[in-house]
Amino acid sequence: MKLTILGGGGFRVPLVYGALLGDHAEGRVTRVTLYDTDADRLTAVARVLAEQAAGIDDAPAVVATADLDEALRGADFVFSAIRVGGLEGRAADERVALDEGVLGQETVGAGGIAYGLRTVPVATDLARRIARLAPDAWVINFTNPAGLVTEAMARHLGDRVIGICDSPVGLGRRIARVLGVDPDRAWIDYVGLNHLGWVRGLHVDGRDELPRLLADPALLGSFEEGRLFGADWLRSLGAVPNEYLHYYYFNREAVRAYQDAEQTRGVFLREQQEGFYARMKDPAAPPLATWDRTRAEREATYMSENRDVAGAGEREESDLESGGYEQVALALMRAVARDERTSLILDVRNRGALPVLDEDAVIEVPCLVDANGARPVAVDPLPYHAVGLVTAVKAVERAVLEAAESGSRSAAVRAFALHPLVDSVSVARRLVEGYTRAHPGLGYLDRP
């Protein structure tokens, strides 16, 4: 099997490669092609992988290339993990929003819209290119905002593109653990959009165990999302939301915390990763040790933005190991390549699973996965408060797709203005001005 990683110079590629090194079964990945637009990053990461592979007989061969067509040809799987505009762009997404008093998070609110407007045209080009050069490849999209970007790519790749996120799996595992249930035996009733979903039940042996959690303040206080949202709110909601819903339910606090922070998340990550790539230019630098040090620093403050606000604490090490997105990606690849049927929570086209959205809307939902790909499972309808958020945010995503396709500025304004976390059309207009000034990549928004 040949795996191509777009964004192959990315900081998390060694995690993916590490997961591949642990797979010795028939049908595993034997060749990895790294593609990136930044040659220095590509060299740095290739050095780390070479060191990871040392002494392992069946380690997948690694090729690094700056030629996209060459990277795509013959690929069985393509991971798309790019960051258009880099962490510099992410920092600008944060700053422009905060200057208007609204949230500039990577995937949520104004920041997520700006990031989407930058990313969709690039992801669309990639999708077209993949459809032409590797029409039989399965494409696994990691690129954020993952739901929106997957939907953009699905317009060209259909159900051959599958989006992934580690947050629903991680949440399900954390809930199972506090309930004393084996996570691999539990059915997690989770649905919504990427970074906008709710666990409504956790079923084991035909019984829903979630009510037991919601009724027990001590249990609720013993895991991250319990502390993040607070026992009272979770009980009142009757579900456990994805951590990213903290930005909706505690928006004012989140914006204030961002404004008060010494550094935004984007700036923090930019500085840290710059350090890694700079050190790696020294041929004497030990690659893995250098990467590991940066990774440890990063994970000490992992996902932090929402957690810092509520003092929810750090994520446990066991969680990072078992629930990480590279594990989700590997499980997905295995199920498809070996026709090993499994269920995973993924970002796929709706196909009727949530009747309140149309068939082509990408949603995040439990799927049955096998050699035929990922098929969403029918789920219970969402309650009205969740329908409200999900449909409003899907309307925003559609406006982003329209703006990216047509270059229409009024569609871009509509995207910002319709978002539940942007409180005025005038703010939306100023955001479009601010973002087009900050990002050269948004120059295409030049039509009325």
Q: Which residues are catalytic?
A: 166, 244
Residue 58: exposure state from Cβ atoms within 10 A (0-12, 13-18, ≥19): exposed
141 annotated as a binding-site residue:
no
What is the closest distance, in whole angstroms, from the C-beta atom of residue 391 to Mn ion in the complex? 21
For the stretch 18-40, what's the b/e string if a residue is b when 16 or more beta carbons lie within 10 angstroms of its beta carbon? ebbbeeeeeebbeebbbbbebee
Distance in angstroms (rounded) separating the CA atoms of residues 213 and 316: 20
Question: Is residue 295 marked as binding?
Answer: no
Q: Between 165 and 196, whose beta carbon lies closer to Mn ion?
A: 165
| Residue 207 structure tokens | 């019984």
Neighbours of 317 (CB within 10 A): 9
Which residue, 53 or 165, has its beta carbon nearer to ligand G6P? 165
Give whichever of 310 and 411 is closer to ligand G6P, judged by the CB atom: 310
- What minimum distance in Å lies between the beta carbon of 12 and ligand G6P? 8
Any residues with CB less than 8 A from the CB of 86 and at least 6 apart, and which?
270
Contact 388, 404 (CB under 8 A): no
Annotated ligand binding at 90? The verdict is yes
**Residues in Cβ contact with 193 at an 8 Å cutoff, skipping those fewer than 6 apart:** 147, 362, 363, 364, 390, 393, 394, 397
DSSP string, 271-337: HHHHHHHHHTTSTTS-HHHHHHHHHHHHHHTTTHHHHHHHT--PPPHHHHHHH-HHHHHHHHHHHHH
φ/ψ (deg, to 5) at 57: -60, -45
Consult the annotation and say whether 212 binds a ligand: no
The answer to whether residue 193 forms part of the interface with Mn ion (CB under 5 A) is no
Q: Which does 303 bind (CB under 5 to 8 A by kind): ligand G6P, Mn ion, none?
A: ligand G6P
Q: Smallest distance from the beta carbon of 159 to Mn ion, in angstroms?
A: 20
Instruction: Report the partner that residue 41 touches, choosing among ligand G6P, Mn ion, none (CB closer than 5 to 8 A by kind).
Output: none
Minimal CB distance residue for ligand G6P: 167
Please, which residue, 76 or 106, has the CB nearer to ligand G6P? 106
Binder of residue 397, out of Mn ion, ligand G6P, none (CB less than 5 to 8 A by kind): none
Contact between 173 and ligand G6P by CB under 6 A: the answer reads no
Name which of 15 and 48 has its Cβ closer to ligand G6P. 15
Select the residue interacting with ligand G6P from 52, 80, 119, 167 (CB under 6 A).
167
CB of 265 to ligand G6P, least distance (A): 5
**DSSP designation for 160:** G
Sole window of 24-32, 40-48, 161-169, 173-181 interacting with ligand G6P (rule: CB under 6 A): 161-169
- Binding ligand G6P by CB under 6 A: which of 48, 97, 303, 328? 303
Closest alpha carbon to 110 in 443, 440, 448, 424? 424
Beta carbon nearer to Mn ion, 165 or 413: 165
C-alpha to C-alpha distance for 398 and 400, rounded to whole angstroms:
5
Closest to 119 (Cα-Cα) out of 150, 91, 94, 160? 150
Residue 175 · residue 234 · CB < 8 Å: no
Decide: is 165 part of the binding site for Mn ion (CB under 5 A). Answer: yes
Smallest gap from Cβ 168 to ligand G6P, in A, equals: 9
Residues 91-150 within binding reach of ligand G6P (CB under 6 A):
144
Using CB under 6 A, count the residues that bind ligand G6P. Answer: 7
Query: Distance between alpha carbon 240 and the CA centroid of its chain, in Å?
Result: 19
Strands 373-376 and 77-80: unpaired
Segment interacting with ligand G6P, rule: CB under 6 A, options 61-69, 165-173, 328-336, 362-370: 165-173
Distance between CA atoms of residues 309 and 425, nearest Å = 27
344 binds Mn ion (CB under 5 A): no
**By Cβ distance, which residue is nearest to Mn ion?**
165
Which residues within the stretch 367-406 sit at the binding site for Mn ion (CB under 5 A)?
none
Residues found near ligand G6P in the complex (CB under 6 A): 144, 165-167, 265, 269, 303
Residues found near Mn ion in the complex (CB under 5 A): 165
Cite the annotated binding site by residue number.
90, 144, 165, 195
